[in-house]
Amino acid sequence: DTAVSQTPKYLVTQMGNDKSIKCEQNLGHDTMYWYKQDSKKFLKIMFSYNNKELIINETVPNRFSPKSPDKAHLNLHINSLELGDSAVYFCASSQSGPNEQFFGPGTRLTVL
Amino acid sequence: ELKVEQNPLFLSMQEGKNYTIYCNYSTTSDRLYWYRQDPGKSLESLFVLLSNGAVKQEGRLMASLDTKARLSTLHITAAVHDLSATYFCAVGYGGATNKLIFGTGTLLAVQP
Q: How many helices and strands in chain B, by DSSP H and E? A: 0, 11
Residue of B nearest to A106 (CA): B42
Residue ranges with strand state E in chain B: 4-7, 10-14, 19-25, 32-37, 43-49, 55-58, 61-66, 71-76, 85-93, 99-102, 106-111
pLDDT of residue B50: 92
Whole-angstrom distance, CA of residue A17 vs CA of residue A79 = 7
Residue B70: what pLDDT?
96
pLDDT in tens, A68-102: 999 999 999 999 999 999 999 999 999 988 999 99
How far is Cα B89 from Cα A105, in angstroms, rounded to an integer?
19
Residue ranges of chain B with per-residue pLDDT less than 70:
none
- Check CB contact under 8 Å for B99 and A43: no
Chain B residues touching A102 at Cβ < 8 A: 45
Residue of A10, A38, A41, A42 to mutate for B, most B C-beta atoms under 10 A: A41
Which candidate from B42, B96, B105 shows the least CB-CB separation from A103? B42
Q: Which residue of chain B is at minimal alpha-carbon distance from A94?
A: B98
pLDDT the model gives residue B1: 75
Task: List the single residue in B with minimal CA-CA distance to A54.
Answer: B97
> What pLDDT was estimated at residue B95?
72
Give the homologous superfamily in CATH for domain B4-107: Immunoglobulins (2.60.40.10)
* Closest residue to B102, CB basis, from A43, A56, A100: A43
Is pLDDT above 90 for A66?
yes
Determine the pLDDT at residue B66: 96
User: Tell me: the pLDDT tens digits for A6-58?
Assistant: 999 999 999 999 999 999 999 999 999 999 999 999 999 999 999 889 999 99
Query: Any idea where the domains of chain B sit in the sequence?
Result: 4-107
Chain B residues inside the 8 Å CB shell of A105: 41-42
The per-residue pLDDT for B97 is: 78
Q: Which of residues 54-83 of B touch A (CB under 8 A)?
A: none
